[in-house]
Amino acid sequence: MSISSQKTLGNSIHCVGIGLHSGAKINMTLRPADPGTGVRFLRTDVPGSDPIPARFDTVSDTTLCTTIGQDGCKVATIEHLMAAFAGCGVDNVLVELDGPEVPVMDGSSAPFVFLIECADLVEQDAAKRWIKVLKPVKVGGTDKSASLVPSEGFSVSFSIDFDNEVVAKQSYFLDMQDGVFKAEVARARTFGFISEVDKLRQLGLARGGSLDNVVIVDNNKILNEDGLRYGNEFVRHKILDSIGDLYLSGAPIIGHFTGERSGHAMNNALLCALFEDETAWCYSEHGPDQFAGEPAMATAATA
């Protein structure tokens, strides 16, 4: 399959799940879309609503998830699905939902990767284009930050530091070559702390959260019976989130992203800063593997 062509799904595919924050039962259908239309979300339960483009400039909220909105219509918790689209190379797709957020499934991107693979990818008669980072862009400070710098491919570095001995300090580097997303981070689940559950639910959040879709940490132990999927699942999930948030650029990025304790808000602020500076980026029809670079690799380091 050519890297230079846009891609969509070969068939529509449907699933049902629970919204992480709303707790609502949600039907979701992924449908093929025309070249150049990008990723769009349509609320079928809102009469007369139009598809919402999944772009950095339609982000309306970043509280514990990424929410996009248009004309009063919103779709929350899109980052895990967006990461799957990015990791699988889906350029154009229409996501239909009969509720306010993307179903959380098991808390990772793996179920969405499975859906995409079942629907199959097909090439379209349209050239793919990338967003090439031309100079460093950074937001945040010394404690928390997010940055993009020029690179010959797309890679991600992330570090976390929690005041908890189970999560603690973790760092991870990922070079996003073919198949790496599925193999290295797709199965990493969202996580939370038992001490914060009551507060979140009072705020109307995490109503659908459970041990089936969240890694729950209670002081120095993990409550999930099967434990972790990776030794450093926490930082891998933060990378998953970042990949999803960065795909709101509207096209794959050629550049290196570094996150230091960053989250959805900072990731979105970084994209805003990138596109505000017309000298910091350009469109390119040359993909990452069309540049001479290092071979694909994924390395991890846990402190």
Say which DSSP state 292 is in.
-
Angle (CA) 25 11 248, round 5°: 65
How many of the other CB atoms lie within 10 Å of CB of 220? Answer: 8
Angle (CA) 33 85 116, round 5°: 75
Give the Cα separation of 93 and 96 in Å (integer): 10
b/e sequence 21-39, b meaning 16+ C-beta within 10 Å: bbbbebebbbbbbebeebb
For residue 177, the one-letter residue type is Q
Q: Which of 21, 237, 256, 264 is catalytic?
A: 264
Can you tell me whether residue 54 is helix, strand or coil?
Answer: coil
Respond yes or no: is residue 264 known to be catalytic: yes
Residue from 89, 82, 127 nearest 8 by CA: 89
Q: What are phi and psi of 242, to 5 degrees?
A: -65, -40
Query: Given the DSSP bridges, would you call strands 191-193 and 215-218 parallel, antiparallel or unpaired?
Result: parallel
Catalytic residue annotation: 264
